[in-house]
Structure 1
Amino acid sequence: MASTTYTVEGMTCQHCVRSVEEEVGEIEAVTGVTVDLATGRLVVDSSAEIAPDLVRAAVAEAGYTLAN
């Protein structure tokens, strides 16, 4: 099991958090998603390595961006 941390920009409310959690949670091999609104921290737990571009695309689908 792997755990990777990202920073999401642009979230302002719990609806934002749920949107990111739902989109990232749909990626194959993701076993858990935790988003901290106050820090913008996104922690993705997975059963296999996930390409950062997949996470970036899922976050973008939710309407937000990953910090570089």
Structure 2
Amino acid sequence: MAKRTITVKGMSCGHCVAAVSEALSKIPGVSDVTVDLTFGTATFSEAAPVDAKVLKDAIEKIGFEFVG
């Protein structure tokens, strides 16, 4: 499994962290999600490379901005 870190804009509280963690965890092949509110990042393991559009759609669907 490879580790990947993405930047997510718009997070400001613990609820945001939970929402992003949950959204990413629902993507097939994604596990071990850790969201860092201070740096605005989400780090996770992926069994195989996940398409950036899939990540973007999951993040934007819950109201945040996917930076990449």
Q: Which runs of no fewer than 5 residues in structure 1 stay unpaired?
A: none
The runs of 4+ residues in structure 1 deviating greater than 2 Å are none
- CA drift at 1:31: 1.6
Q: Deviations over 1:1-56 (max 9, x none)?
A: 01111111000000000000001100001122110001101112111111111111
Residue correspondence of structure 1 range 1-68 to structure 2 within 5 A: 1-67=1-67
Aligned length: 68
Percent identity over paired residues: 35
Q: Secondary structure of 2:57's partner?
A: helix
TM-score for both structures, normalised by structure 1: 0.91
Q: Secondary structure of 2:39's partner?
A: coil
Over the aligned positions, Cα root-mean-square deviation in angstroms equals: 1.1
TM-score for both structures, normalised by structure 2: 0.91
- CA drift at 1:66: 1.3
